[in-house]
Chain A
Amino acid sequence: MSTTLPGAPARASTPAVGKPPVARRRESDAWKRWISPIAILVIWQLASTTGLLAEDELASPLRVVQAAWDVTVSGELPEGLLVSLVRVIVGFVLGAVLGVALGIWSGLSRWGGLLIDPPVQMLRTLPHLALVPLFILWFGVQETPKILLVALGVLFPIYLNVHAGVRGVDPKLLEMAQVSGFDRREVLRHVVIPGALPSALTGLRLSLGIAWLSLVVAETVSADSGLGYLIMDAREFLRTDVIVVGLVVYALLGLGTDALVRRVEKRALRWRG
């Protein structure tokens, strides 16, 4: 299983506080970054209008916008979106809760580490998406295999990063807690968990990317509802415009969750100043 995605967001560079001249110039340059994307859209539209790009290969941007409106009004898109969101959320929560619990347990306790870590480390080399055939055999084609595939994809990056975070907590702080009379609960709450948080949040961000990827694969292979179904159904009728709408929605969802994590990170790590 891979922990880096081609679509994984690069760490955004934080804007400088004092704003030196270079940063100011970059800011005034911001709109210029839109030149080439818009140019690509225009060329795409022209290619479609002139017939260079066949409708059943790729619909024009304007047709895509029209299709987006149509499937929204007809209720197909909102319905599919809701189904997909539920799958991803349930799967994510399942995998994350398990990953955090196992990561803390194996990070803190010697036996926990000895028993849990080896099998997880072995399994993580397996690309979890390759389990789709087995999952279909075991769980059929309903919701279960899709949710479990998402959960499994989420589990590994969360577990690995929580485990590393817990193991990486500064032993000097643990000693300080000991001589300061912290009880076990206080050590966990004030030293271990906050200490492991930066690493855990990295795992969270990775895992959300993988959650969406897992969903796309699961829904593309077999589905009778959801975004993936919308796309596969559109393929049957050569509706490339609807397919592109589905792709754009997937991208927006990934973008949205990433922005969400970034806000959580900013709030949780505000002590870094």
Chain B
Amino acid sequence: MSAAEVTGLVREFAGRRVLDGLDVTVGAGEFVALLGRSGSGKSTLLRVLAGLDVPDVGSVAVPGSVAVAFQEPRLLPWRSVRENVALGLPTGADVDRTLAEVGLAERAEAWPLTLSGGEAQRASLARALVREPELLLLDEPFGALDALTRIAMHDLVLDLWGRHQPGILLVTHDVDEAIALADRVLVLDGGRIVADHAPGPRPRRDTGALRSTVLAELGVVDDAA
């Protein structure tokens, strides 16, 4: 069973077709990055997969356990970090172990407003991971972080992915991030997948050519190439 199977997905908003017969598959344990310009419908796809939106046409098959880490950490400011991770869970989940995995064991009792941007995003990751998802949806979760924190988060995500093996769909507009992290890099344009790249074995060097190709597909001329 794959982690997500989307066939012929159509979604319209006020007559505008945002997703137009989209087909996407995320294999079990596969790390897929989805690139697209603003308004290309990548967030809409993620919301459909998360169950926050319903398709007009098409079929969407996702496993029973789906978790999301949003662009903003979306922590409840009036609950401690531990409660934020634990709330809504059936009993018996190992919250403290997950907090330790993301490096937040010391901050378990802290109020979310006292966390740094990176810490808050790690708490959000812990909240998603503790649910042992078969499909983990990441909606530009590193977009608002500074460059150094972002690199640390990339390493953390790869590490957690290796350990828990969820299928991951990472929505991003950062080409370098997509190429560095994912097994497959998809480009979404006009409501469909227009390109599907496999960057090859890690660690990755000399990805300049692929970078230029993907940028061109996104409508950007890369002078460095």
Contacts and interface: CB of A to CB of B under 8 A. Distances in A.
B221 interface: no
Interface string A172-187: 1101111111110010
A17 to B, nearest CB: 14
Given A175-B52, A273-B111, A273-B113, A180 B66 contact: no
A113 interface: no
A67 to B, nearest CB: 48
Contacts, number: 54
B181 interface: no
Interface residues of B, number: 23
Contacts of B76: 173, 190-191, 194
A272 interface: yes
A271 B50 contact: no
A177 B78 contact: no
Interface in B71-89: 72, 74, 76-79, 83, 87-89
Contacts of A176: 68, 70, 74
Query: What is the interface of chain A mostly: helix, strand, loop, or mixed?
Result: helix
Interface string A157-193: 0000000000000001101111111110010001100
Interface in B92-128: 111-114, 127
A264 to B, nearest CB: 15
The interface size bin for chain A is: 20 to 34
B10 interface: no
B51 interface: yes
B131 interface: yes
B60 to A, nearest CB: 15
B74 to A, nearest CB: 4
Contacts of A195: 78
In this complex, the member of B67, B70, B76, B79 whose beta carbon has the largest number of chain A beta carbons within 10 angstroms is: B76
A181 B89 contact: yes
B51 A179 contact: yes
B70 A181 contact: no
A181 B83 CA distance: 14
Nearest to B127: A180
Contact of A179 (B50, B72, B79, B113): B50
A194 B89 CA distance: 19
A175 B52 CA distance: 7
A180 B88 contact: yes
In this complex, the member of A175, A180, A191 whose beta carbon has the largest number of chain B beta carbons within 10 angstroms is: A180
In this complex, the member of A183, A195, A271 whose beta carbon has the largest number of chain B beta carbons within 10 angstroms is: A271
A272 B74 contact: no
A181 B131 contact: yes
Interface in A109-136: none
In this complex, the member of B66, B70, B72, B77 whose beta carbon has the largest number of chain A beta carbons within 10 angstroms is: B77
B74 A182 contact: no
A172 B72 contact: yes
A178 B68 CA distance: 11
Interface string B54-74: 000000000000111010101
A172 B71 CA distance: 11
Interface of B: 50-52, 66-68, 70, 72, 74, 76-79, 83, 87-89, 111-114, 127, 131
The 5 closest A-B pairs by CB, nearest first: A176-B74, A180-B88, A194-B78, A182-B88, A271-B78
Given A175-B74, A191-B76, 10 more contacts: A172-B70, A172-B74, A179-B52, A180-B127, A180-B131, A181-B88, A182-B87, A195-B78, A271-B77, A271-B111
Interface of A: 172-173, 175-183, 186, 190-191, 194-195, 197, 271-273
30 contacts: A172-B70, A172-B72, A172-B74, A173-B76, A175-B52, A175-B70, A175-B74, A176-B70, A176-B74, A177-B88, A178-B51, A178-B52, A179-B52, A179-B66, A179-B68, A180-B67, A180-B88, A180-B127, A181-B89, A186-B88, A190-B79, A190-B83, A190-B87, A191-B76, A194-B78, A195-B78, A271-B78, A272-B113, A273-B111, A273-B114
